[in-house]
Amino acid sequence: MIVDCAHYRNGERQQAGPMEIERAAELAHRDDQDGFIWIGLFEPSEEELEEVRGRFGLSELAVEDAQSFHLRPKVEQYDDGAILFAVLRTAAYVDESEEVQFGEVSVFLSERFVITVRQGVASELHGVRVRLEGRPDLLSHGSSAVLWAILDRIVDDYAPVVEGLEQDVDQVEDTVFSGSPAATERIYRLRSVATDFYRAVHPLLAPLGALQRGNYAQIAEPLLPFLRDVGDHLELVNEELIGQRESLAVVLQANMAVISLEQNEIGVRQNDAMKQLTVIATIFLPLTFITGFFGMNFGWLVHDINSFWVFAVMGVGSLVICAWGLWWWFRYTGMSAASDAPRR
């Protein structure tokens, strides 16, 4: 879909509304017309891109890249250097789901025209056009002003993504280093999001460096300082993103250590409980046997144990002797320490 199509000359838009693409192509190829054409497309169909390619002489390979999504940021030259083709990744942070929505902007740049192809929701450029139309001093430098404005907007939009990730990283750091385990899944997800964002930011450093050094003839010299400013912002974003990825790696290791420590403590408590149960069972097993034995209705027991003193000596005495023997054995083997173990 063609969002807007306009002719710019001397830093001014030459008509209020969008012009027809046929008229735009005619102006772009006329030698007696100065200025440049700016065509903006959003998720165009193959037929629309093919029409634009045929009218403006775009490279078939570059048009195929413009139709693709999730490409690495890059800058290439076609038509013996007459057309500059750039692929840029846009990003927007969704705090509710802790995800980064990516978009893509492909830019075909020559001295006579600029064609932008947007893919994805995070690639809105209307504000870029409005801002640039309000800066005729920059727009008068030609079509390269459009590429600078797009780069400046995309890199500025990286800052909220970095801030959103930083807040989430701080949250998991506070949780883990306070001694409580955080959700491991959340840490892995944040690290994956940071890695995807890094793949959108880091590869842009080299192409932007070539642009700000003036390696391409399409870039007007007065715009080089503005491109260097964009490069500085991109370097800052890249450094902060590297720090966040390293922090998430450390947090992940610390979180695993906290989980391991909690599991060890649970194991210790379970071992203590098993020791205490073992001691109790060991105590009651012989005592139960003795009381069960004297509870039998054998004739010898019934006829011979017929007084309190006989019962006290044989029955209670055997229990006392057994209890003393168990106590001595516990002390000798060290099992009594189980009952003295501190409670957690």
Task: Pinpoint the alpha helices (H) of 15-86.
Answer: 21-29, 46-56, 60-67
Bigger pLDDT: 320 vs 291: 320
Q: How far apart are CA 99 and CA 85, in angstroms?
A: 29
What domain count does the chain have? Answer: 2
Bigger pLDDT: 330 vs 221: 221
Q: What pLDDT shows up at residue 160?
A: 92
Q: Is residue 153 part of a domain?
A: yes
Q: Is residue 344 part of a domain?
A: no
Q: Is residue 96 part of a domain?
A: yes
Is the same domain home to 17 and 115? Answer: yes
Of the pLDDT bands very low, low, confident and very high (cuts 50, 70, 90), residue 341 is very low
pLDDT tops 70 at residue 173: yes
Q: Is residue 127 part of a domain?
A: yes
% of the chain at pLDDT higher than 70: 81
pLDDT (tens digit per residue) in 291-306: 676 666 666 655 666 6
pLDDT (tens digit per residue) in 138-160: 999 999 999 999 999 999 999 99
Q: What pLDDT shows up at residue 247?
A: 86
Is the same domain home to 79 and 113? Answer: yes
Final residue belonging to a domain, choices 211, 234, 259: 259
pLDDT tops 70 at residue 200: yes
Final residue belonging to a domain, choices 259, 277, 307: 259
Contacts of 213 (CB under 8 A, 6+ apart): 224
Is the same domain home to 208 and 326? Answer: no
pLDDT (tens digit per residue) in 32-81: 778 899 999 999 888 999 999 999 999 999 999 888 877 789 999 998 88
Final residue belonging to a domain, choices 228, 259, 290: 259
Is the same domain home to 102 and 204? Answer: yes
Domain range enclosing 284: 268-339
Q: Is residue 240 part of a domain?
A: yes
pLDDT (tens digit per residue) in 266-291: 776 777 777 777 777 776 777 676 66
Q: Is residue 242 part of a domain?
A: yes
Domain with residue 277: its CATH number is 1.20.58
Is the same domain home to 231 and 282? Answer: no
Domain with residue 111: its CATH number is 3.30.460.20
Q: How far apart are CA 56 and CA 114, in angstroms?
A: 10
pLDDT (tens digit per residue) in 233-244: 999 999 999 998
Contacts of 311 (CB under 8 A, 6+ apart): 305
125 closest CA partner among 157, 100, 101: 157
Of the pLDDT bands very low, low, confident and very high (cuts 50, 70, 90), residue 309 is low
What mean pLDDT, rounded, does the chain reach?
Answer: 83
Is the same domain home to 119 and 37? Answer: yes
Mean per-residue pLDDT for 216-228? 92
